[in-house]
Amino acid sequence: MKIALIGYGRMGKEIEKIAIERDHQIIVKIDSPEDWKKYASEFKKADIAIEFSMPEYAVDNFMKCFAANIPIVTGTTGWYNDLEKVRKICLENNHSMLFASNFSIGVNILFELNHRLSVLMNKHKNYDVSIEETHHINKIDAPSGTAIILANDIIKNIDKKNKWVNFVSDAENELSIKSIRKENITGIHSIKYDSEIDFLEIKHSAKSRKGFALGAVIAAEWLSGKTGFYEMKDVLF
């Protein structure tokens, strides 16, 4: 595939390595508003775009891909207030888009485990559930998009929880998400069910960005030739 990279930070560079290893070609790298004008003709030759940029640019990037009729895979988070609007535009105009808060295969398995566990634990009212996520100090959004997805699924299945908060709360109806920022932490997410007699915890720890990059390239390979609006679970399950 001929790939356009939108965002050429640490994730973009890792994706470039993985894509080349898998015999794809990076034909353009767009890393600033000026690059859109500078590389407009090159961008139109892409088979697919992989986008890891900043939340404030994400939706505009999507619209540019739609306008050029180029499928897009995005791992940018922090734009989800516009998710339904983007989904509607994508589907109504037969475009192609796949989004994920996290492209790691392990994290997407964690999503499935989290869902199944929350259904089971709803019957056990003596356990209280909380989430903790840890990332590097340069991560802008808190809580992480991955933590929000985990939290929203728990809220759907645990009757006593009806909202999440980004602090440690003692309110029974609030699901606490504790966000920690430390040097050189790629990403750790844990869900803990605690009672007076014991606790149960599921956890995912990323060793490097390679897993995220590999997942994004696999998603791009899967999306090629399709129209519609997809998530990573469509690729894996």
Q: Which residues are catalytic?
A: 135, 139
User: Rounded to whole angstroms, how far apart are CA atoms 59 and 82?
Assistant: 8
Q: Nearest 5°: phi and psi at 78?
A: 95, 0
User: Rounded to whole angstroms, how far apart are CA atoms 171 and 48?
Assistant: 46
Number of H helices, E strands in the chain: 9, 11
Q: Which residues contact 138 (CB under 8 A, 6 or more apart)?
A: none
Tokens of 208: 């490097």
User: Rounded to whole angstroms, how far apart are CA atoms 63 and 204?
Assistant: 33
User: Rounded to whole angstroms, how far apart are CA atoms 47 and 28?
Assistant: 11
User: Rounded to whole angstroms, how far apart are CA atoms 158 and 175?
Assistant: 10
Strands 228-231 and 174-182: unpaired
